[in-house]
Structure 1
Amino acid sequence: MAGCFAAATLVILILGTRLTDVADRLADRTGLGEALVGGVLLGVATSLSGTVVSVTSALDGSASLAFSNGIGGIAAQTAFLALADVVHRKANLEHSAAEATTLFQGALLMVMLTLPLLAWLSPELAVWQIHPVSVVLVALYCVGVLTSRRVHEEPMWKPVRTRETREDVPDETHKRASLTGLLLRFSVMVVLLGLAGFVIARSGAALSERLGMSQTVVGALMTAVVTSLPELVTTIAAVRRGAIQLAVGGIIGGNTFDVLFLSLSDFAYRDGSLYHAIGKGDVFWLGVGLLMTGIMVLGLILREKQGPFRIGTESVCMLLVYAGAIALQVQAG
C-alpha cells in the first residue's frame, strides 16, 4: 500500500507542473484572466484527486477521513501560498497579486467555511440522509463563480498600482493557440489526477488501519497534504513564470472548491448527516482553515510590500498557525 501511495503522489507532482502551463495559456486564449481561470478551472482541476479521496472515503463509511481530507487540504494549501511568497522575492505575494476577483473569492471562501461549522453546532437534521447545508454550499459556489466573472469584467474598485504590482497582461502567442487542443490536454491531465486520487484514498484508509492512526490524522496530515501537492506545484510554477494572479487565484479557488468535498461526501455518506458523524478533531481543522483564510484576506487588503524574513507578515502568521495546528494534532493523536 505504501508503494501505491508513493506512486500516486509522483503522478500528482508531475501533472501539477504541466497543468500550470496549460492553465496560463487558457487564461490568455479565452480572455478570462489568470485570477478567474486560476480560481475556477485550475482550482477545480487540482482539487479533483482530493475530491475522489473524500467521496470514496464517505462511500466506505469513513466520515472523519472524508471530512478531514477536505478541510485539512484547505489549511495545507493556504500554507503553500505562504511558501510561494518565499519564492517570490520581489515583494510580498499578496501585494503583487492585487486583484478584485481574488479578494472576492477569499471572502466567499470564509462564508462557505462558516456553514459546515454551523451545521455541526446545530441539531442533527437530514433530508434523504443529506444535510441542507450541503445543498446550500453547492448553490453558493455556483453563484460565487458567476459573480467572480462579473467582478473580473466590471470591477467596482481597483487596487493602487505600484512598481511591484504584477498586471495580468495576456501573451499574444497564447491567443493564437488551439482552444480545443488546450482543453483536451487539460482534460486528460484532470482524469489522470482523479485516478491518482482514487489510489490514494484506498491506500490511505489501509494505512490508517495498519499504522493504528486515527482517520483525522491520516486525512488532515497525509491524504490532504498529498492530494494538495498539485496546488503546491502549480503555485510555485506559476510564481516562477510571473503568473502571480494565477498562483493566488489557484489556491483560493481550489480551497473554495474543496469546501464542496463536504457536500459531495455528505451525498455519498449513507448513515445520516456527515456533519454529525465527525469529531472535535475534524472541526478543529475547520477552525484552522477559517483562521488561515482570514489572515490571508487581511494580507490581500493590507498589501504590505515586505514583512519579516522578506515575506509578508500574513505569510509568517499562516505558517505559524499551520505548524501549531500540526503539533497539536500529533500530540492529540
Structure 2
Amino acid sequence: MVTYLSLAAGLLLLLFCGDLLVRGAVALATRLGIPSMVIGLTIVAFGTSAPELVVSIHAALKGVSGIAIGNVVGSNIANVLLVLGLPAIIYPIICDQPAIRRNTVIMLGSSALFTFLCWHGELHFWQGALLFLLLILFLAYSAHYAATCPEAVSGEVDELIEEGALPAGSGRITVYLLAGIIGLPLGAHLCVTSATEIARTFGVSEAAIGLSVIAIGTSLPELATTVAAALRKQADVAVGNVIGSNIFNILGIMGITAMVKSIPVPPNFLFFDLWVMMIAAVLILPFALARTTITRSAGAVFLIGYMSYLYFLFLADQAASGM
C-alpha cells in the first residue's frame, strides 16, 4: 500500500510542480519583456515536458533504462491513441491547424530516426546530441514560421495571461519556480523507486510499468484538458499539441537523457513497442495531410487500439518473464 501511495504521490508532484514551474517561468519571462511567441516555443514547450524529462533522467541515472525509454515511447503512444481517441469519441476533432502537415511529417521522421538509433542497442551521447540538435533546428524553424505566419502562433501564453493564471509579484514567482525545481526531482524519485518496486512485486518488467502506468500518469494533464475541450466542442487544438509533445519527447527528452547517460535499449522495444509508436504516428498522417476530421468511429479505433496495446504489452511481458 505504501508503494502505491508513493507512486501516486510522485505522479501528483510531477503534475502539480510541473504546472507551477511553467507558470512561474512564463510570469518571469513576461516580466523581462520576452515575446510570447518565444515563451511559447521554449519555456512552455520545455516546461510541459519537464515531468517526463526528470523521470527519464532519474531512471537513466539509476540504471532503469526500461523506465527511461518506456516513459517517452509510452507517452507518445498514449498521446495519439488515448489523448486523441477518447475526446474524438465525445466530439469529432478537425485537423486544420496551421503547419499541421509539416509538424506531422517531422514527428514521423523523428520517430523513424529514433527507432533507427535504438537498433544500435544503446543510445550514447552522440546520438542524444544529434536528437537535441534537431530539436534546436525545429524550434528555430518554428520561430521563423511563426514570425512570418502570425496566425500559426499558439495563444497558450496569452490565455495564461488573460485568465490571470500567472503569479503576480516577485515573491510568488520565486515560490512557483522553487516549487517546480524542488518538487519535480522529488516526484521523479518517488515514481521511479515505487514503480521499480511494484514491477518486482508483480514480476513484470520496469519497461512495462514505464510504458503504461508512468506514461499514462504523465499524459493525464493533456488528456484532462483535451476531454474538457471536447465537452465544449473545442478540442481541435489537441492535435497540434499532441504532435508537438511527441516531437519534444523524442528529440528533447531522449536527446537530453542520452547526453546525461548512455541508455541500453531493452530488446522488447525493438520488436514491439517502437513499432507501435511508429504505427500511432502514421495513423495521424492521413488526417493531417488531408486536413480532415478525426471522427467518432476513428476515435473508437484509436481507443480500442490503445487498450489492445496495453493487453499485449503485459501479455508479452509475462511470456518473457516466464521464459
Task: Say if 2:54 and 2:185, in contact at 8 Å, map to a contact too.
Answer: yes
User: How do residues 73-112 of structure 1 correspond to structure 2 at under 5 angstroms?
Assistant: 73-78=75-80, 79-87=82-90, 89=91, 92-95=92-95, 98-112=96-110
Secondary structure at the counterpart of residue 146 of structure 1:
helix
| Shift, 1:227, TM fit | 1.9
State the match for 2:244 in structure 1. Answer: 253
CA distance in 1, matches of 2:104, 2:70: 21
What letter is aligned with 1:274? I
| Shift, 1:31, TM fit | 4.8
CA distance in 2, matches of 1:199, 1:81: 29
Verify: 1:262 aligned to 2:239, yes or no. no
State the match for 2:304 in structure 1. Answer: 320
Task: Say if 1:40 and 1:253, in contact at 8 Å, map to a contact too.
Answer: no
State the match for 1:164 in structure 2. Answer: none
CA distance in 2, matches of 1:117, 1:306: 26
Q: String of CA shifts for 1:73-96, please: whole Å, max 9, x gaps.
A: 111122212223234x3xx3233x
- Gap regions ≥5 residues in structure 2: 318-323
Mark the CA change 1:16 to 1:180 in structure 2 (over 3 Å): closer, same or farther. Answer: closer
| Shift, 1:305, TM fit | 4.0
What letter is aligned with 2:83? F
State the match for 2:272 in structure 1. Answer: 284
Task: Say if 1:168 and 1:245, in contact at 8 Å, map to a contact too.
Answer: no
Secondary structure at the counterpart of residue 80 of structure 1:
coil
CA distance in 1, matches of 2:8, 2:165: 35
What letter is aligned with 1:93? I
State the match for 1:300 in structure 2. Answer: 288
After superposing the two structures, state which structure 1 stretch, 144-153 or 190-199, moved more: 190-199
Mark the CA change 1:222 to 1:180 in structure 2 (over 3 Å): closer, same or farther. Answer: closer
CA distance in 1, matches of 2:315, 2:247: 29
User: How do residues 103-252 of structure 1 correspond to structure 2 at under 5 angstroms?
Assistant: 103-122=101-120, 130-155=124-149, 174=161, 181=168, 184=173, 187=177, 190-191=180-181, 192-238=183-229, 244=235, 246-252=237-243
State the match for 1:48 in structure 2. Answer: 50
CA distance in 2, matches of 1:248, 1:258: 15
| Shift, 1:266, TM fit | 2.2
| Shift, 1:332, TM fit | 0.7
CA distance in 1, matches of 2:158, 2:256: 37
Mark the CA change 1:278 to 1:66 in structure 2 (over 3 Å): closer, same or farther. Answer: same
Verify: 1:274 aligned to 2:263, yes or no. yes
Mark the CA change 1:43 to 1:190 in structure 2 (over 3 Å): closer, same or farther. Answer: farther
CA distance in 2, matches of 1:194, 1:264: 15
State the match for 1:72 in structure 2. Answer: 74
| Shift, 1:144, TM fit | 0.5
| Shift, 1:72, TM fit | 0.8
User: How do residues 1-40 of structure 1 correspond to structure 2 at under 5 angstroms?
Assistant: 1-12=3-14, 30-32=35-37, 37=40
Secondary structure at the counterpart of residue 37 of structure 2:
coil
State the match for 2:65 in structure 1. Answer: 63
Mark the CA change 1:175 to 1:223 in structure 2 (over 3 Å): closer, same or farther. Answer: closer
Task: Say if 1:54 and 1:67, in contact at 8 Å, map to a contact too.
Answer: yes
Task: Say if 1:44 and 1:254, in contact at 8 Å, map to a contact too.
Answer: no
State the percentage of identical aligned residues. 20
Q: Could you tell me the TM-score, scaled by structure 1's length?
A: 0.74
- Gap regions ≥5 residues in structure 1: 160-166
Aligned-residue CA RMSD (Å): 4.1
After superposing the two structures, state which structure 1 stretch, 257-266 or 184-193, moved more: 184-193
| Shift, 1:203, TM fit | 1.3
| Shift, 1:14, TM fit | 5.6
CA distance in 2, matches of 1:108, 1:45: 21
| Shift, 1:278, TM fit | 2.0
What letter is aligned with 2:263? L
| Shift, 1:220, TM fit | 0.5
Q: String of CA shifts for 1:205-228, please: whole Å, max 9, x gaps.
A: 222222221122111012211122
CA distance in 2, matches of 1:284, 1:172: 40
State the match for 1:163 in structure 2. Answer: none
Task: Say if 1:296 and 1:318, in contact at 8 Å, map to a contact too.
Answer: no
